[in-house]
Amino acid sequence: MDLEEKINLVVDWIVNSKHLVIFTGAGISTDSGLPDYRGPDGVWTRRDKGLPPKPLAVPWDQVKPNQAHYLIVDLLKMGKLEFLISQNVDGLHVKSGISFDKIAELHGNMYFLKCLNCGTKLTFEEAGWNKKIWGNGYRTDPVKEGQPKCPNCTGRIISSIINFGDPMPEEEMIKASKYSEKADVFFVIGSSLVVSPANSFPMIAKRNNAKLVVLNDGEVPIERFVNIRFHDRIEDILPLIVARVKAKIF
C-alpha cells in the first residue's frame, strides 16, 4: 500500500472502532522541545556514544503540549478514543486535557506525588512539598523528618515517577492490561517498544485480535506483527488521520 492507502485504512479502522487504545512514547513529545530516548539524537543513543544529553530546548516549567497531544484529545472528544497508555513522565497528556481516568501513565508523572497507602494523587504544591527541603521524593529516598504526608490517610507520599528498579504501579498496569485486551484498534505513536514491561501491551492487544498500527520513525521489535506501519514523522501523519476521522464522523 502507498501512504494514502495506509492513512485511509487506519481512518476507516478508527471510525469503525469500538475500543481504540493509543499507546505513546517519548517521540510524541519531541515537538514540545523534549528529547526522545532511542532516536538518532536521543538520550540513550547519545549515552551509548559517550555523549551527554542535549540541553532542553525550553526549561521544564515551560514545556507545553504540542499538536499531537491535542489531536489525541480531539479523538477523545469525538468519542473514538477509549483509553490512552503512555510511557512518558512529562505530564503533557494530562496538561492537554486527558483526565486521569482515561490514561495509564506507566512510568509516572513528574508533576504528581502519590500515596503509597491509599493511592491518592496530588501535585507537589497541593502536598506542600518543597523539593529544596525534602528532595525529589523518590521511593528510594530516605524519609526525612517533617516531610508532608497524605492528607487523606497520613500515609507516605512519594514521587509518582517510576525509576529503574522500582515496582511498576499496580493500578496503572491493571488498567493498561484491561484496555489492551479490549482493544479492537491499538495505535502506537512515538515509541521504540523496547522498554519492558510497558512494551507488552501492543502484543496483548494483538493476541486479542486488535488491528495494530505503529507510527514511529525507528524500528520496533514487533515489526512482523504490525498491520499498518508508518515510518514517517508524527506531525506529518497524525493530523491527516485525525482530520479525516473527524470529516467522516461529522
- CB of 161 closer than 8 Å to CB of 89: yes
Sign of CA dihedral 67, 27, 195, 203: positive
- CB of 224 closer than 8 Å to CB of 212: no
Q: Strands 211-215 and 121-123, how do they pair?
A: unpaired
User: Helix/strand/coil (H, E, C) string of 124-146?
Assistant: HHHHCCCHHHHCCCCCCCCCCCC
3-16 vs 234-249: helix crossing angle, rounded to 10: 50
Helix (H) or strand (E) holding 214: strand 211-215
- Catalytic residue selected from 19, 69, 93, 107: 107
SS3 (DSSP) at 209: coil
- For the question of residue 107 being annotated catalytic, the response is yes
Angle (CA) 66-70-21 rounded to 5° is 120
For cell 497524525, the residue is: 238
| Helical segments of 81-227, H only | 92-96, 124-127, 131-134, 170-182, 201-207
Nearest to 37 by CA among 90, 98, 84: 90
Cite the active site residues.
107
